[in-house]
Every structure is written in structure tokens, then in C-alpha cells.
Chains A and B, each alone.
Chain A
């Protein structure tokens, strides 16, 4: 009986914490639905009765949104496609073959994975500027692919290793070519891993701020995070239309939240799997 009461009390505490923790996300959506008159008030409006979509219309009518969206989509797609391709090939190499230099490659990959953008961005800026690729889709894409490939290789390696090579060999005995066996047997089994890795690459490229800030100096070529930051910068000098900023934030965040919820489990276990299993 006592145990039950204790459990109920803690459950209530947990629900309060849950409400507090999600509050900023709620506040973003809430503010985005409020007309500006309400936001100007000194008393916050906590529930958006009669929500309006005006803020979204305003945010979208700003032509710079579409330019930023185009830039973000271009970079993100490039990163996802090339990252998956490169990482997949490398994952096959390290999980299906034992060869000289394998361990060095793995160590290099793990070290690169830890290198912070903040420790390299000045050098990356100089490199990209020297070949005239500032303000292009290619510049940030190259850096992002290099930054994302290591974790993706690491994640896919587990998936490739989990598929028994015997299965492929059996198919080859049955007359399929090596490539055919791979495409028919291994590839479908790998699909979940590819999806998880692809979403990971998407999230990284879509959200990235630091490298984009230095490699995309002109306002016409901003990605969505830079575009969003522009609103906050403007807020220092003039009254901010917070409703519009929150609508813009919501637009940027929604695809991320959806994709993130799909792969979250895999990402966590990828980062700490050794420790959890050990």
C-alpha cells in the first residue's frame, strides 16, 4: 500500500517535470499562433485561444525564407546522398574484410568524429575561400560530409556486421553474382541502418550553424539556421515581432522533430552501445 502511494507521488512529480521540460517547445508553438497584439502585452498569454496563422503567413511572405529553404535543402540532400554512399562503402570494407590499415582507419574515423567544428572552422574557411567556393552549396557540403561520415561508418558497420556473410554466399552458390547477391540479400537487410544513418546526416546538415556561418557570408545564400538567427540579430536594434520569429522557428523545427523521433533510439544506442552492453 505504502509502495503504491510512493509510486503515485513520484509519478505526479515526473509529470510536473515533463510539463516544465517541454514548456519552451510549447511556448514556441503557442507564441507562433498568437496575434501580435497579445504578444505586445506585458502579461503572457499561456493558451492560444482563437489561434491565428498570420505569423506563419508573415514569415513565409518574406522572400528570403524560400532562398534559405532552397539552400538548406540543396546542402542537406547533397550531404545525405554522398554521406550514405561513402559511409556504406567504408562500412563494408571494415566489417567484411580484415586488412592492413583497418585499425588505423577506425582510429582515424573515431578521432575525426570528436573534432569540434569550432576547432577547425577558421582553417576550413580559408580553404573554401581559396578555391572560390564561399557562398556555394558545395563548400559546406564537403565539410558536413567529412564531419558526418565517421559516425555513419560506425553506425553502419554494426548493421553490416549483423548480416551473416553466409547468407550472401549461399545466394552466390545458388547462381547469383556477388553484386546480385549483395543487392538482393544484404541491401534489404541494411535498409533500417541506411534510414537511421540518412536521418542522422539530415539532422546534422539541417541544423548546423557554425560552419555555415563562416562559409556562407552573404545574406543571399543563408541556410535556414542563419536565416533564423537574422531575426534575433535584428531584435537588438528594433522591436522584435516575436510571433513571426516563433513561427519561423516552428517551421524550421517541425521536420527535425519528426525525423528525430523516428531514429532517436538508434542514435542513443550508437553513441553509448559499448558502455550499455559492457
Chain B
């Protein structure tokens, strides 16, 4: 710290060093963001497809959006999908982290390698495998479920109804996200000191009490951040939904926010509306991120 303070002289060097990063952020993110804010206040209709400039309508798009039932359905579905998926991911991830803590070294390494492999799969490759696994006729999942006595899953089409479609999407997202949660939480658990745990045990605290009284409070900061990140990431699922729609149906019943915006922008060419919904997504994200960003800033100040 003292060294950096010694360099607190008037100096142009840091600004010069920042130029490339600032420039690329301004081009790749800043300009599109501003364009989007402006466009979200313009009206795009049939005439604009033939090159007529879009008139400025201020907040009309937002007002119209607010009265669009289809948007609220998508927002509701997205939030439900995102929260359910994030909660289940967090629960499984934490349980696996606790499990890693109490098993033999060999079993732990086996589990960790397995999780790492799942985590490292590129999204698109993972999607093709899962679509193949859930294939109606020759998929391994229907075959295995069919083996259970009394379960008739032969040729069951998972992607036909929105409910099973989103269950499949959720399973895939959970499968891909649990490793991150498990590893982060496990890293947090290893910080819980052995002595404290032994002391608690000597004092007669049972496993349940030790978990609620000692472990949970110690790993709460990690869990909070991991959960926040999951919510933010699950709100914007796009690749998974798009690819499941490729294999199933493209109907709007199967849309979440990402695909909803994509269809507004590409199919209807309604850039005004697409921008307004995008701004909504960005606003929710930044609002949620604020807690995360604040915790990172605290780290920087240390």
C-alpha cells in the first residue's frame, strides 16, 4: 500500500494504460447500450422496414409493453424458471460440497473429476448430448425409465408440452451449474476450522446443530454470492432454450426472456420493442448484481 501511495503523483501513465480497454468497452458495450436506450423510445413499424426513419415516441414502447399480456407471461415464466433452477442448483451443490467434506479422499477425487468434466462441457455440445439422451424413441433416458416396473415412458416426447420442456431445460442447466456451486461451497467449507468443529462436538452438539450453528453461518457469504450469480445467469438462459426449441417446437409457449427478445428483434424486426424488453432485462440484472459488485469492491479496498 505504501508503495502505491508513493506513486500518487500527477501522472498521465494510468490513463494511457486504460485507453485500449476503455475504447473496446465503449465500442462493444457502451455504444450498443446507448443505441438500445434511444431505440427503446422509437417506434418501428412496417414503414421502417423500407427505410423510413423511426419516429421518437418516448416511453410509449414501455407503456405498450406493460399492457402486453404475452410479455408478462414470459417475465413470469422466466422468473419462475430462474428461481426454481437456482434454488435446486444451490441445494444440490451445497449437499455435494458437504458430502465431499465427509467422504474418503478417493471418493472425493472421483466426484470432483466427474463434476469438473460436466462443468467443462461447452454449452452447445452439452445440449446436443442431452437432446440425444431425451430423444423420444432411442434416447437412453426413456429407455432407462421404462425399465422401472410400472413406468411407461416408451416414446414419451419430453419437448411436446411446455411443462416437461422446461423441466428438461432446468435439468440441463442444473447439471451444468451444480459443479460451480459445489466447488465454491466446498472451498468455503475447508475454511471452517477443525478445532471449532471438534470443540462443538465435545460440547455435545449433534451433526444437525453443528451444521446450522457453525457451518452454515461460516459459509453463508459464499452461498449468498453463488446464489446471486446463479439467479443472474439463469435469468438469461438462451442457448439451452433455443436448442431445445430446435429439437422441439418454436411456438411462443416455449419462450423465456432471451428467446422472446430474439424473436422480437429478428422475426418481427420490432427493434423498439426488442430494445425496451432488453433494457428491462439489463435493469433487473444490474439491480441484482449490485450486491455482488459491492462485495467485490470491498475486496478491492482491502
Do A and B come from the same complex? Answer: yes
Q: Are A166 and B18 in contact (CB under 8 A)?
A: no
Q: Are A15 and B132 in contact (CB under 8 A)?
A: no
B65-73, B161-169, B261-269 - interface stretch: B261-269
Tell me which residues from 88 to 140 in chain B have a Cβ below 8 Å from any Cβ of chain A. 96, 99-100, 102-104, 106-108, 110-111, 113-133, 135, 137-138, 140
Q: Give CA–CA (A145, B27) in the complex, Å.
A: 10
A47-55, A181-189, A190-198, A265-273 - interface stretch: A265-273
Say whether B243 faces chain A, with CB atoms less than 8 Å apart: yes
Q: Give CA–CA (A256, B125) in the complex, Å.
A: 11
Q: Give CA–CA (A4, B152) in the complex, Å.
A: 41
The minimal Cβ–Cβ distance linking B210 to chain A, given in whole angstroms, is 14
Which residues in A have their C-beta under 8 angstroms from that of B14?
A: 93-94, 96-97, 99, 102
The minimal Cβ–Cβ distance linking A28 to chain B, given in whole angstroms, is 4
Q: Are B121 and A256 in contact (CB under 8 A)?
A: yes
Say whether A73 faces chain B, with CB atoms less than 8 Å apart: no
Q: Are A122 and B281 in contact (CB under 8 A)?
A: no
Q: Are B18 and A146 in contact (CB under 8 A)?
A: no
Q: Give CA–CA (A238, B115) in the complex, Å.
A: 34
Say whether A173 faces chain B, with CB atoms less than 8 Å apart: no
Say whether B62 faces chain A, with CB atoms less than 8 Å apart: no
The minimal Cβ–Cβ distance linking B167 to chain A, given in whole angstroms, is 16
Say whether B202 faces chain A, with CB atoms less than 8 Å apart: no
| Overall SS of chain B's interface | helix
Q: Are A119 and B24 in contact (CB under 8 A)?
A: no
Q: Are B116 and A90 in contact (CB under 8 A)?
A: no
Say whether A31 faces chain B, with CB atoms less than 8 Å apart: yes
Which residues in A have their C-beta under 8 angstroms from that of B229?
A: 271
Say whether A253 faces chain B, with CB atoms less than 8 Å apart: yes
Say whether A236 faces chain B, with CB atoms less than 8 Å apart: yes
The minimal Cβ–Cβ distance linking B248 to chain A, given in whole angstroms, is 8
Interface size on A, residues (CB 8 A): 115
Known A-B contacts A111-B293, A275-B295; A15 and B222 likewise in contact (beta carbons under 8 Å): no
Say whether A164 faces chain B, with CB atoms less than 8 Å apart: yes
Known A-B contacts A25-B121, A123-B33, A207-B123; A116 and B11 likewise in contact (beta carbons under 8 Å): no
The minimal Cβ–Cβ distance linking A104 to chain B, given in whole angstroms, is 11
Q: Are B265 and A261 in contact (CB under 8 A)?
A: no
Closest A residue, CB atoms, query B222 = A275
Which residues in A have their C-beta under 8 angstroms from that of B279?
A: 119
Q: Are B125 and A252 in contact (CB under 8 A)?
A: yes
Which residues in B have their C-beta under 8 angstroms from that of A249?
A: 124-125, 128-129
Which residues in B have their C-beta under 8 angstroms from that of A257?
A: 117, 120-121
- Identify which of B4, B117, B123, B221 contacts A165 (C-beta below 8 A): B4
Known A-B contacts A18-B111, A228-B125, A271-B184; A110 and B21 likewise in contact (beta carbons under 8 Å): no
Which residues in A have their C-beta under 8 angstroms from that of B129?
A: 24-25, 27-28, 246, 249
Say whether A177 faces chain B, with CB atoms less than 8 Å apart: no
- Identify which of B15, B100, B124 contacts A229 (C-beta below 8 A): B124
- Identify which of A25, A42, A96 contacts B137 (C-beta below 8 A): A42
Which residues in B have their C-beta under 8 angstroms from that of A94?
A: 14
Q: Are A149 and B4 in contact (CB under 8 A)?
A: no
Closest A residue, CB atoms, query B101 = A10
Q: Give CA–CA (A69, B132) in the complex, Å.
A: 23
Say whether A210 faces chain B, with CB atoms less than 8 Å apart: yes
Q: Are A15 and B110 in contact (CB under 8 A)?
A: yes
Q: Give CA–CA (A93, B185) in the complex, Å.
A: 32
Q: Are A97 and B128 in contact (CB under 8 A)?
A: no
Q: Are B262 and A121 in contact (CB under 8 A)?
A: yes
Which residues in B have their C-beta under 8 angstroms from that of A231?
A: 128
Closest A residue, CB atoms, query B19 = A89
Closest B residue, CB atoms, query A269 = B187
Which residues in A have their C-beta under 8 angstroms from that of B180?
A: 268, 271
Q: Are B122 and A252 in contact (CB under 8 A)?
A: yes
Q: Are B116 and A264 in contact (CB under 8 A)?
A: yes
Say whether A274 faces chain B, with CB atoms less than 8 Å apart: yes
Q: Are A272 and B25 in contact (CB under 8 A)?
A: no
Which residues in B have their C-beta under 8 angstroms from that of A150?
A: 25
Which residues in B have their C-beta under 8 angstroms from that of A15?
A: 107, 110-111
Q: Are B278 and A119 in contact (CB under 8 A)?
A: yes
- Identify which of A11, A42, A235, A253 contacts B125 (C-beta below 8 A): A253
Query: Which 4 pairs show the lowest CB-CB distances between chains A and B?
Result: A146-B28, A260-B120, A274-B299, A123-B32
Supplied contacts A116-B236, A236-B248, 7 more A-B pairs, CB within 8 Å: A24-B126, A90-B17, A96-B7, A116-B281, A228-B128, A249-B128, A275-B295
Residues of chain A at the chain B interface (Cβ within 8 Å)? 6-8, 10-15, 17-19, 21-22, 24-25, 27-28, 31, 39-44, 82, 85-87, 89-90, 92-99, 101-103, 105-112, 114-127, 142-143, 145-147, 149-150, 153-154, 157, 164-166, 206-207, 209-210, 213-214, 224-225, 228-229, 231-233, 235-236, 242, 245-246, 248-250, 252-253, 256-257, 260-261, 264, 268-269, 271-278
Enumerate 24 A-B pairs (CB-CB under 8 Å) in ascending A order.
A11-B106, A14-B99, A17-B99, A18-B110, A21-B114, A44-B138, A86-B20, A86-B21, A87-B21, A90-B22, A97-B14, A115-B285, A118-B238, A119-B279, A120-B36, A122-B271, A149-B25, A209-B123, A228-B128, A232-B247, A236-B248, A260-B120, A275-B221, A276-B188
